A = this chain, B = another copy of it.
């Protein structure tokens, strides 16, 4: 099809305190005594949130280690563990940031699809709907709550399981859950949304659907990170909507240089997506002059540290790995630099960019 037929999340609830409706939301989705599995970001271990999860019967909370981004091995192991313990489950509920969202989506799919999640890294390879899955973000910015992908690091590539079966059946957008996020992390994740917007609005792929969503997400990011005096509940509300709108804007747009370069970093060094994008964006004046200028003002106003020197001491082989991964993201480069991108972004130029990071 010329225009993507975009699969939406089935149900959305938005509201401060809407997490309290979770029991009521899940009740009709329970299948006899098969449990609901709550995959919760390990950040919440020992905190108050887990005690608010409405456990019934054999329901289980699993704290997911998302120190690194999700790997296909981790997805396969979690799905196998659940099959061994319960045979089947009623649903997978992800509670956390983008990594936890992606992990929950992927585990849901691997409860019903045979083989390894690595077999499904690509486009429309998933053939069976997963078990019921719900996403409850506790960090705003990735857009993973509405995307049709789940980015996984596999044995040979970092690539999502992109399919119409991938989006959540339900998302619960409760901005209260984001109130306790560490300031640096909140910024890095929020910048994922901001950078999405800059890259898609300045790109060569775009239509009015994605433009409308992208403009709104950008305006909300500018509001919370530049205009407002201090961070408060309204900031959490607005950044949660920015993330949602930024995610929707991806339907008919594409990201660009930042993401292509940061994928290289994260493949080699395990740099997480949000901070990786910030490290790269910091050096992209040539490609996004107005966006980078605004980004730097956001960094300054919010008192954030952006790491530098992350590629110091890497070998030629290591630079080559990053360059290969990065140049492999062809649609991103084409969106950013046009059809002739290969004549613009040579290996030498990209190497010099990596060396500056």
Contacts and interface: CB of A to CB of B under 8 A. Distances in A.
Nearest to A172: B5
Contact of A215 (B170, B216, B244): B216
B220 A212 contact: yes
B2 A21 contact: yes
A212 B2 CA distance: 29
Interface residues of A, number: 41
Could you say which of A2, A14, A20 has the most chain B C-beta atoms within 10 Å of its C-beta?
Answer: A14
| Copies of this chain, tallied across the complex | 2
Contacts of A66: none
Nearest to A14: B209
Nearest to A8: B8
Interface string A219-263: 010000000000000100110110011000001100000000000
Interface of A: 1-18, 20-21, 24-25, 170, 173, 175, 207-209, 212, 215-216, 220, 234, 237-238, 240-241, 244-245, 251-252
20 contacts: A1-B13, A1-B21, A3-B13, A3-B14, A4-B13, A6-B11, A6-B14, A7-B11, A8-B8, A8-B9, A8-B12, A12-B251, A14-B207, A14-B252, A15-B252, A16-B207, A175-B208, A207-B237, A209-B241, A212-B238
